[in-house]
Structure 1
Amino acid sequence: MTIRPIVTAPDPRLREISTPVDGVDDELRALMDDMLETMYAAPGIGLAAIQIGVPKRVIVMDLAGEGEPPAPRYFVNPVIRNPATDLAPYQEGCLSVPDYYEEIERPATCTVDYLDYDGTPRTLEAEGLLATCIQHEMDHLEGVLFIDHLSRLKRERILKKLKRDRSAAA
């Protein structure tokens, strides 16, 4: 497994729409293993393939709490169905928008159809943090960042600071 560099805003690759994969094979499992290793090292709880520069419809996440054993989840070609009409707020952050956290409202529950690590079709009823996280990562597959759910002013302020930080680091 390899820890890969995480793409950060305002990198234009984060705005790409990810493409579906044909199926799960050893090459895709190696990508998911790298993604999981990268996410753990960051540290984070979810990562979309585009966040390491790979525009494929693949997500990994692990919502295990501190002191709990790892509980990795793999989502290949995920599709959200039946998002709830009631919204739930959550203080979100993102490995591609480092050091920024904002309250975002998303549907409180949803159903997700996907292929797992072995390529087996699955359906998941998600609620709470799981529902928030899967929707956040699904946004990445569509070229959307969590800051896109903020006001234009807040979003522009964050992006301006990220550009300034990137220039200072170069």
Structure 2
Amino acid sequence: MSSTFLLLKYLDISLVDVQLYRVDYFCLVSFLEASPALEIFVLRVGTGNLLRRDSVLKDLDKDQLHLWQMPECLHNNLKNVMMTGFSSAKSLIELTSHIVRNALALACMTLDTARGCCRRTAKTGKCQRMSREGLEEAQKALEAVKRCIEGIVPSSNNLKALEPCSQCGC
């Protein structure tokens, strides 16, 4: 897909009802490579409120973490990244790491582990409740951000890892 979307500046990808086993989020790097003018990248992942079986934390606990990396491919114009439904999936951590390392103009990255928490529903004005498994996965995702992403984010970048609020609990 090399340079297929030469003028694309905004890319919003929604993955709905993603199966929990071995989803390769890292393959989305090809969209970034094909979009040299890209400034805003939004990834919305709908996996429900279940625990990840492919969590990066399994490898971290065994001291066997090997994140897949591509040769340097700079994304010179990418300034803003938003990921909702962010989880501890290893390939999602790999994608995030790739973006942080290669997006030279990156100013803001928001990783929403709460799947849109605090976005009020029109009828009730309250957050949608998350299941116990969903809350546990959100905590795993926050831990993965702390252990794998925070240390590689330049101080000039604004990294936000959003967690569920007190209204989201069961």
TM-score by length of 2: 0.28
Structure showing the higher strand proportion among its residues: 1
Bigger helix share:
1
